């Protein structure tokens, strides 16, 4: 049997031949599939959704399996369906290797673009029955659906799912709207922010245990810290890949270019926060390069009071202070950005006033903190830096 997708997204079953005619299309009926247990009151409408899970017994023949998937894909009762599928196997001895369950790749090829299939297989040789457990998730069919689900995930504080939805939008190689751009930033900022905070806490505990000479505890803490670092690296590499392959190449406006290069600088900086040796230097170099690229565009295309330009100055100055250990450069950059914005404060638009003044306040807070440290002795400054809160950033 051949599976040939059609434009409607349905998957007709055809007899294997060089050409297909209308007579070759197999009508999908329960008799061709097997048996399944569905309550009598089930109807194809939203008011009476199909319960989950559904138990299905399917004949082993490929045509029956394919017909079953066709049936499942045509069920639009609910977004998520958990289905237990029992594939009947022959009771006669098998001379060669037994027929394999429908593979994940084959399963995925049966699905239209709007669906996602996650299979797991259990094989019981004594019963000669293979159980297929599937979770069929109806994925967003449009860009608007992905954005809506991202907003929903944000409200539910399910930021990993917010990331997945916005990553799908960002990978379309199209210019993002301001709203989409901000949703993408918020999604990744939340998933990375929680782990950065965890890393700081665990690292602080590790230092305290080291000072006490508790080697057993230090060993456990180190393993836990490395687990967090692995998660941090994965998140950073994920968004950096999206930025490099999709967002920066498709950025048309100066505002978008500054936004994305700034994001690239931020996430390379996050990698540099916990990396050591050559890896730290590499991340720091890439962060500096991205921040400079953003700054070059910002000074020519964005006014000094623009929130994105101010946010870039804030984070770039934090990079100088925390990653390059250059408080002089950090203070100079932050003060320059603050003074330039103050000089043109009367040109600030009403819609961006709140965002711009908030970032200006953060710039001033960092300047106060850093200049205070610089005025102390070297030893006191080092101690203060160990105990101080991290510098404010966007």
Asked whether residue 163 is assigned to any structural domain, the reply reads no
- pLDDT tens for 170-211 read 999 889 999 999 999 999 999 999 999 999 999 999 999 999
Asked whether residue 31 is assigned to any structural domain, the reply reads yes
Asked whether residue 261 is assigned to any structural domain, the reply reads no
Regarding pTM above 0.85, the answer is: no
Asked whether residue 153 is assigned to any structural domain, the reply reads no
Closest CA to 288 of 254, 247, 326, 253: 326
Extract the tokens encoding 45.
Answer: 């409408």
**Residue 394 pLDDT exceeds 70:** yes
What are the residues whose beta carbons fall under 8 Å from the beta carbon of 258, sequence distance 6 or more? 294, 297, 298, 301, 302, 308, 309, 312
Number of domains in the chain: 1
Distances (CA, A) of 384 to 192, 318, 369, 380, 390: 26, 16, 10, 6, 11
- pLDDT tens for 35-94 read 444 344 433 444 444 444 444 444 444 555 555 555 555 544 333 334 444 444 434 333
**Domain of 112, in residue numbers:** 2-138
- pLDDT tens for 220-254 read 999 999 999 999 999 999 999 999 999 999 999 99
| pLDDT tier at 136, thresholds 50, 70, 90 | very low
Asked whether residue 338 is assigned to any structural domain, the reply reads no
Residue pair 236/271 in contact (Cβ under 8 Å)? The answer is: yes
């Amino acid at each position: 049997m051949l599976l040939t997708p059609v434009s409607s997204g349905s998957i007709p079953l055809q007899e294997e031949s060089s050409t297909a005619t209308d007579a070759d299309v197999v009508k999908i009926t329960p008799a061709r599939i097997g048996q399944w247990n569905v309550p009598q009151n089930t109807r194809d409408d939203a008011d009476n959704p199909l319960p989950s899970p559904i138990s299905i017994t399917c004949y082993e023949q490929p045509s029956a399996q394919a017909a079953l998937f066709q049936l499942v894909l045509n069920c639009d009762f609910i977004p998520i369906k958990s289905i237990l599928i029992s594939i009947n196997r022959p009771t006669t001895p098998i001379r060669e290797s037994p027929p394999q369950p429908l593979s994940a790749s084959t399963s995925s090829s049966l699905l239209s673009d709007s669906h996602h299939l996650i299979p797991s297989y259990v094989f019981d040789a004594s019963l000669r029955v293979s159980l297929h457990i599937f979770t069929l998730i109806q994925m967003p069919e449009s860009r608007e659906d992905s954005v809506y689900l991202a907003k929903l995930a944000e409200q539910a504080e399910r930021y990993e799912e917010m990331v997945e939805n916005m990553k799908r939008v960002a990978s379309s190689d199209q210019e993002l709207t301001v709203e989409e751009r901000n949703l993408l930033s918020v999604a990744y900022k939340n998933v990375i922010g929680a782990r950065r905070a965890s890393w700081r806490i665990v690292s602080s505990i590790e230092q305290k245990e080291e000072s006490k000479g508790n080697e057993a505890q230090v060993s456990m803490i180190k393993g836990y810290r490395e687990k967090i670092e692995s998660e941090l690296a994965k998140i950073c590499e994920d968004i950096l890949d999206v930025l490099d392959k999709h967002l920066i190449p498709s950025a048309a406006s100066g505002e978008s270019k500054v936004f994305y290069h700034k994001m690239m600088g931020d996430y390379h900086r996050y990698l540099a926060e916990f990396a050591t040796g050559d890896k730290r230097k590499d991340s720091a170099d890439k962060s500096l390069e991205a921040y400079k690229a953003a700054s070059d565009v910002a000074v020519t295309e964005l006014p000094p009071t623009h929130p994105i330009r101010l946010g870039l100055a804030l984070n770039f100055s934090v990079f100088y202070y925390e990653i390059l250990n250059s408080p002089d450069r950090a203070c100079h950059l932050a003060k320059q950005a603050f003074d330039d914005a103050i000089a043109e404060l009367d040109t600030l638009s009403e819609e961006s006033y709140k965002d711009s003044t908030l970032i200006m306040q953060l710039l001033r807070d960092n300047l106060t903190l850093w200049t205070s440290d610089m005025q102390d002795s070297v030893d006191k400054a080092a101690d203060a830096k160990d105990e101080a809160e991290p510098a404010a950033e966007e």
